[in-house]
Amino acid sequence: MKHLIHLLCLACLLGAVTSAGAQGRPKRGDIGVSGPKPGTEAPDFTLTSVEGKSIQASALWKEKPTVIITASHTCPVFRGKALAIESLRKDFGDRANFIVVYTLEAHPQGDPSPYSGEEWVTPKNEKEGILFRQPTTDAERMERAKACSEREKMTVPVVVDSMANTVWKAYGSAPNCAYIIGKDGKVIEAEPWMDAANLRLVLQKLTAG
C-alpha cells in the first residue's frame, strides 16, 4: 500500500512539473499580438545589414511598399519559410521592398527562450544541429545573422537588431512576424506569424496595375 501511495505521489509530482513547463510556453496565438495594427504608424528604425550597410526602414517604404519580417537562426518556423520569402521578393521585388530583421534567438541552447523563460530547444533544431547560445554582444549577434543568411541563401537584405532589441519590441516581440508598410508609413498588413500565402495575396492587390 505504501508503495502504491509512493507511486501515486511521484506521478502527481511529475505531472505538476510537466504542466508547469507547458504553462511556461506561450500559445502560438498569444505571440506578436502587441505589434502595430493596420492603419497605425509603423515604427521607424535604422539598422546595419550583414553586409555592413546602414538601412533606414522609412527610406525603404517611402520608395515602395515594404515587407518587414523578423527572424533568428534558431527559429525553425523562419527557416521553414526562407524559400517562401525569397520567392515573394523574386515576384514582387520590382514593386515592393523586403527586409528581414534578425532579432533574439528564439530557441537558444543553454539559455532561456525569450518566449518561455526557460530553455526550449526544438527537436528540429537538434536534428539540424542549430544549437547556439543567445548572443550577448552586437558582434556575436551579427555573426549569427551572417551565418543564418548564408545557410539559408538569403538575398533579401538582413539587418541586425540592437542588443536592446528595440525593433523586436516595437514590432510585437515575435520570432517570425511580418508587416507590410505603405508608402505613407502606415501599416497595411500585420501578421504575428508570417503567412507567405496571405502576404502574396495582399501584395498582389497592393501592387496591381
pLDDT single digits (tens) 1-23: 545 444 433 333 334 333 334 44
Q: What is the mean pLDDT of residues 61-74?
A: 98
Q: Percent of the chain beyond pLDDT 90? A: 83
Residues facing residue 102 across a β-bridge: 71, 160
Query: Taking 50 as the threshold, does the pLDDT of residue 87 lie above it?
Result: yes
| Lowest mean per-residue pLDDT among 28-37, 65-74, 130-139, 186-195 | 28-37
62 in helix, strand or coil? helix
pLDDT at residue number 145: 99
Residues 6+ apart with CB under 8 A from 98: 66, 67, 69, 85, 88, 89, 92, 156, 157
pTM: 0.87
Closest C-alpha among 87, 112, 95, 120 to residue 194:
87
Give 206's pLDDT tier (boundaries 50, 70, 90): very high
> What's the pLDDT at 30?
58
pLDDT in tens, 100-116: 999 999 999 999 999 99
Domains of the chain: 31-207 (3.40.30.10)
Strand partners, 187: 181
For the cut 60, the answer to whether the pLDDT of residue 82 exceeds it is: yes
What 3-state DSSP class applies to 103?
coil
Backbone torsion region of residue 173, taken as left when φ is above 0, otherwise alpha when ψ lies between -120 and 50, otherwise beta:
left
For residue range 151-160, list pLDDT tens digits in order: 999 999 999 9
CA dihedral 192, 33, 173, 53 (to 10 degrees): 50
- Contact between residue 190 and residue 36 where contact means Cβ atoms under 8 Å apart: yes
Q: Can you read off the three cell numbers belonging to residue 112?
A: 532561456
Whether 103 contacts 167, CB under 8 Å: yes
CA distance 117 to 25: 8
pLDDT-derived band of residue 26, with 50, 70 and 90 as boundaries?
low
| Secondary structure element (H or E) that encloses residue 158, with its range | strand 158-160
Which tens digits make up the pLDDT trace of 166-187? 999 999 999 999 999 999 999 9
Please check the confidence at residue 200 and state whether its pLDDT lies above 80: yes
Angle between helices 196-207 and 76-92 (to 10 degrees): 20
* Per-residue pLDDT band at 92 (split at 50, 70, 90): very high
Which among 129, 125, 133 is positioned nearest to 104, based on CA atoms? 133
Helix (H, G, I), strand (E, B) or coil at 97: strand
Residue 56's beta-bridge partner residues?
46
